């Protein structure tokens, strides 16, 4: 069973301006399983925020379907077990961290005793218990974002939507937020994370989708998106041996200090190369698929797409 599901989800903003309508989300089909940390990646203007707004009923859907916990966004019960930290969220600066938690709890219709209990636990979870009584205006951006994460969890939701939770935060603050995301995952919650920061998503997400100009261009585990299936590094005592690879199998890219790098037409052919090396009594220490960073995969995925207007 999927906790989030969309089928051909499309959102067209009617701007009424000369430039016409904006297709912000264009036929997106995706599925998120319970307990997953799912990262939606894409450049500015790709449609990430619109996608989340459509799922949460903040903006209407032009066509296609969306389901959260099996219910469409038009049903308020679909948001019963959902937490949300919007993009660039500014909380009332005169509230304290604890005050914000109480305010959010009341908005969710929770009882005072329940709010009090959960607020303390959550402020601890985000390492903000020491600052619970301090006004938000005195918080750093990282601290405000951590309290924002805590308020998104006040009603003990099954799913939390986080829209760019680390945007504009320094590396130390980002690391702290990553740590909080890990703790949220450990509690078995599903996390839907919007980001244009690839290294962030790479560090925390189980699965990733890349959105470009409203369209999904790639989906998979971080592993799927970073392993080049056909490129291998073979660590072996090749030394001066001449190893020719027939063109129908692939080619040798280079000889390295450790061995050699090969690109194969079919990943299965790696066995033929291993057989050949062993036939010559060459000792093999390891055979590993080569990785590219998520950033390289991202650039490849969006390479054909012209720059979107932000």
309 binds, among ligand ATP, Mg ion, none (CB under 5 to 8 A by kind): ligand ATP
Residue 152 has phi, psi (to 5 degrees) of -65, -20
How far apart, in whole angstroms, are the C-alpha atoms of residue 242 and residue 255?
A: 10
How near is the Cβ of 48 to Mg ion at its closest, in Å? 5
CB nearer to Mg ion: pick between 276 and 305: 305
268 binds, among Mg ion, ligand ATP, none (CB under 5 to 8 A by kind): none
CB nearer to ligand ATP: pick between 122 and 308: 308
Choose one: 86-94, 97-105, 118-126, 292-300; the region binding Mg ion (CB under 5 A).
86-94
How far apart, in whole angstroms, are the C-alpha atoms of residue 16 and residue 158?
A: 38
46 binds, among ligand ATP, Mg ion, none (CB under 5 to 8 A by kind): ligand ATP
How near is the Cβ of 297 to ligand ATP at its closest, in Å? 18
Query: Which H/E stretch holds residue 218?
Result: strand 215-221
CB nearer to ligand ATP: pick between 50 and 297: 50
CB nearer to ligand ATP: pick between 9 and 128: 9
197 binds, among Mg ion, ligand ATP, none (CB under 5 to 8 A by kind): none
The answer to whether 252 touches 245, Cβ cutoff 8 Å, is yes
How near is the Cβ of 265 to ligand ATP at its closest, in Å? 37
45 binds, among Mg ion, ligand ATP, none (CB under 5 to 8 A by kind): ligand ATP
47 binds, among ligand ATP, Mg ion, none (CB under 5 to 8 A by kind): ligand ATP
196 binds, among ligand ATP, Mg ion, none (CB under 5 to 8 A by kind): ligand ATP
How near is the Cβ of 214 to ligand ATP at its closest, in Å? 7
The answer to whether 170 touches 140, Cβ cutoff 8 Å, is no
The answer to whether 13 touches 24, Cβ cutoff 8 Å, is yes
How far apart, in whole angstroms, are the C-alpha atoms of residue 63 and residue 86?
A: 23
CB-count burial class (<10 Å; 0-12, 13-18, 19+) for 129: middle
The answer to whether 226 touches 292, Cβ cutoff 8 Å, is yes
The beta strand positions in 61-171, using DSSP E, are 63-68, 82-85, 159-163
**Helix 141-152 vs helix 171-186: crossing angle, to nearest 10:** 10
- The contact set with ligand ATP (CB under 6 A) reads 13, 15, 22, 24, 42, 44-50, 87, 196, 308-310
The answer to whether 161 touches 85, Cβ cutoff 8 Å, is yes
Of positions 6, 49, 151, 166, contacts Mg ion by CB under 5 A: 49
Contacts with Mg ion, residue ranges (CB under 5 A): 48-49, 87
């Amino acid at each position: 069973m999927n906790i989030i599901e969309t089928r051909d989800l499309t959102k067209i903003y009617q701007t009424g301006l000369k430039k016409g309508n904006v297709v912000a989300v264009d036929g997106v089909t995706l599925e998120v399983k319970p307990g997953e940390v799912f990262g939606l990646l894409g450049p500015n203007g790709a449609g990430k925020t619109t996608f989340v707004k459509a799922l949460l009923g903040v903006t209407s859907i032009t066509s296609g379907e969306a389901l959260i916990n099996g219910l469409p966004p038009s049903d308020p019960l679909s948001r019963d077990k959902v937490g949300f930290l919007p993009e660039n969220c500014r909380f009332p600066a005169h509230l304290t961290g604890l005050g914000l938690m109480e305010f959010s709890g009341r908005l969710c219709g929770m009882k005072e005793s329940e709010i009090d209990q959960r607020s303390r636990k959550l402020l601890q979870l985000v390492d903000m218990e020491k600052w619970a009584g301090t006004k938000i205006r005195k918080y750093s951006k990282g601290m405000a974002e951590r309290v924002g994460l805590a308020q998104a969890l006040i009603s003990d939701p099954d799913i939390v939507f986080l829209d760019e939770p680390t945007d504009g935060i320094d590396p130390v603050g980002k690391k702290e937020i990553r740590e909080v995301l890990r703790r949220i995952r450990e509690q078995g919650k599903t996390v839907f994370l919007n980001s244009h920061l690839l290294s962030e998503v790479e560090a925390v997400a189980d699965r990733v989708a890349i959105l470009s100009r409203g369209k999904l261009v790639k989906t998979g585990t971080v592993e799927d998106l970073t392993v080049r299936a056909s490129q291998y590094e073979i660590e072996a005592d090749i030394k001066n041996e001449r190893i020719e690879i027939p063109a129908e199998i692939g080619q040798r890219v280079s000889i390295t200090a450790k061995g050699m790098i090969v690109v194969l037409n079919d990943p299965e052919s790696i066995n033929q190369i291993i057989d050949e090396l062993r036939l010559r009594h060459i000792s093999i220490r390891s055979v590993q698929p080569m990785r590219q960073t998520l950033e390289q995969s991202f650039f490849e995925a969006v390479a054909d797409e012209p720059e979107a207007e932000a």
